[in-house]
Chain A
Amino acid sequence: MGSVSLRKDWFKLSLELHKHYGGKLEVIPKVPVRGMEDFSVWYTPGVAEPSRAIARDPDLSFELTYRWNTVAVVSDGTRVLGLGSIGPEGALPVMEGKALLFKFLGGVDAIPIVHRARSLESFLTLLEWLEPSFGGVNLEDIESPKCFILLEEAQRKLKIPVWHDDQQGTVTAVLAGLINATKLVGKNLKNNRIVLFGAGASNIPLYRILRKLGVPAENIVVLDSKGVLHPDRDDIDKLFLTHAWKYRIAVETRGGGLKPGAGPAEALKGADILVAASTPGPGVIKKEWVAQMNKDAIVFAIANPIPEIWPWEAKEAGAKITATGRSDLPNQINNSLVFPAVFRGALDVAAKAVTDEMLIAASFELAKYAEEKGLREDYIIPTMEEWEAYAREAAAVAVKAVELGIARRTTTYKEEFERASIIIRMAREKWAKLWEAGLIAKPPEVFA
């Protein structure tokens, strides 16, 4: 692939540009500052009054401060991209990049926070201590299974949405793709054989979401690097102690009726859907396994940078619909389609949480958007350019939060769609004006 050979250049270019710009973000005021006397309003003495009001009712912080639109992007640097545990400072460029996407795609002010809290308890405490500053938390690049317990505990303790993009973001995008892929080939999630290859941050929550949608446990087979998760597997009691999520899946699915020790070849025989979210390919998923799947098989291989199996290989083996995590191939399963919009919607109603129901609502809205545009084998999910999809997703999420009774403010679909559209457009327009005015430094020749 051309883009694979390009990657080396991307690395060099990126380093150069990061140095040129000294990072990617800065803080710019959004209020009139016509003269020094205006500070008497924004700062002391005037600011004492909003402070007093918030002290009486802390929820007013969602109205009188930037909290309503601000998300913390938090990482301990223990699993950064494919680089492993590279430390908090190493994670900072990634968090800053995430914040850039938050602003451009969702109009969300995201603040990168990397930290040294190594234990689960201290990480949780940190989040609790930081909660008053933010309208939401986006956890990022945290090792598994720590990320599962951290998310569950943080969601339980904090009264703002807590999101782990590697879990919920990926799952929302995958589900949107699956909804349309099954529709296109006339399959039904509820009576299909579904194989989840890889039991990490995205497939573990995908299993939970599929169950919530009414897929029977025995229709699902989940495999990790040692084979199918099965109650009679030799290490099952080890999982009982160290990985409650894999353990529960093993017990609930009973290995999908397969024998303990079964591998992907057995699991894919007669399967309708494969979602591989494991290690970079190619060749991780073999063509001959896909060939054993049912007619009109759906194959999502979303490892980056190289999918577990190239889509053309999967198609040669009989797959009808394929998806990957790559922007240069059709049907990109892309978190960036999700997190800016979910937070846009959640923030606009000052939601106290982000639940699976909100995530499912986002998936269905995303799927519906693509369906209205016209589904094709190579178009089952919108692309990042289709920015109306973001406002629609935001509206679906906000309305769901209101419906669930976890929103501090009420709204309607139409109202939120319009608000989200304006906020997102404004974010881009402000940047465009700065750029046009030459207030954003011109890049060096190599990036011109």
Chain B
Amino acid sequence: MFEPRLVIRRAIEADVESLAVLIRRFYIFNEEFDPAMETVTDIKEKALDVARARITSGDLILVASYEGKLIGYIYGSILENPLLARRRIGVLKELYVIPEERGRGVATALIEAAMTELSKIGVRYMAVEFPSRNVVAQKFYEKLGFRPYTSVYLKEV
């Protein structure tokens, strides 16, 4: 599936700066889809804090590294609901691969790795969030076997 020099692994302290760049680009990308996703002006600095926080938290944060360079990441967390038979599901919230490396299966590799991580801790379902208007993402996830699950609507208060 992916090239041998591609490594998918958990993000570590040394990744903070590179990861922050990817996180920032992910958010600037999403800004295109919805005005409600407008980013803060000092996103560069804030992204560093977010990257650091995620690495130290117990959340799912994996990076794709190609010849030592970070080329993509995936971020998700676990949602718990004691009323549901399947109490926990993994929710992917962010996925980004840099333009030069797209179309080579890096995103798929990141998702498969995330699935493996989830199944290790006994989570049976994985959900994924993306802007409704991101048709490319919709097609991509459908191709991987994802189906519509919940819908999120938005209104100004």
Contact = CB atoms under 8 A, between A and B. Distances in A.
Contact of A234 (B28, B32, B100): B28
Contacts of B99: 231, 236-237, 240, 247, 250-251
Nearest to B103: A251
A36 interface: no
Nearest to A230: B99
B100 A237 contact: no
Contacts of A232: 98
Contacts, number: 24
Contacts of B25: 237
B125 interface: no
A254 interface: yes
B146 interface: no
Interface in A225-247: 231-232, 234, 236-238, 240-242, 247
B140 interface: no
A250 to B, nearest CB: 7
Contacts of B32: 237-238, 241-242
A236 B99 CA distance: 8
Q: At the interface, is chain B mostly helix, strand, loop or mixed?
A: helix
Nearest to B100: A231
B100 A254 contact: yes
A389 to B, nearest CB: 42
Q: At the interface, is chain A mostly helix, strand, loop or mixed?
A: helix
Contacts of A236: 99
Interface in A190-246: 231-232, 234, 236-238, 240-242
Interface string B96-109: 00111010000000
A242 B133 CA distance: 13
A233 to B, nearest CB: 9
A166 to B, nearest CB: 27
B28 A231 contact: no
A384 B109 CA distance: 57
Contacts of B29: 237-238, 240
Interface in B58-108: 98-100, 102
A395 B102 CA distance: 43
A141 B23 CA distance: 40
Contacts of B100: 231, 251, 254
Contacts of A241: 32, 136
A238 B99 CA distance: 11
B33 to A, nearest CB: 8
A238 B134 CA distance: 12
24 contacts: A231-B98, A231-B99, A231-B100, A232-B98, A234-B28, A236-B99, A237-B25, A237-B28, A237-B29, A237-B32, A237-B99, A238-B29, A238-B32, A240-B29, A240-B99, A241-B32, A241-B136, A242-B32, A247-B99, A250-B99, A251-B99, A251-B100, A251-B102, A254-B100
Interface of A: 231-232, 234, 236-238, 240-242, 247, 250-251, 254
Q: What are the nearest 10 A-B pairs in CB distance? A: A237-B29, A231-B99, A231-B100, A251-B99, A236-B99, A238-B32, A241-B32, A251-B100, A237-B28, A237-B25
Given A231-B100, A251-B100, 13 more contacts: A231-B98, A231-B99, A232-B98, A234-B28, A237-B28, A237-B29, A240-B29, A240-B99, A242-B32, A250-B99, A251-B99, A251-B102, A254-B100
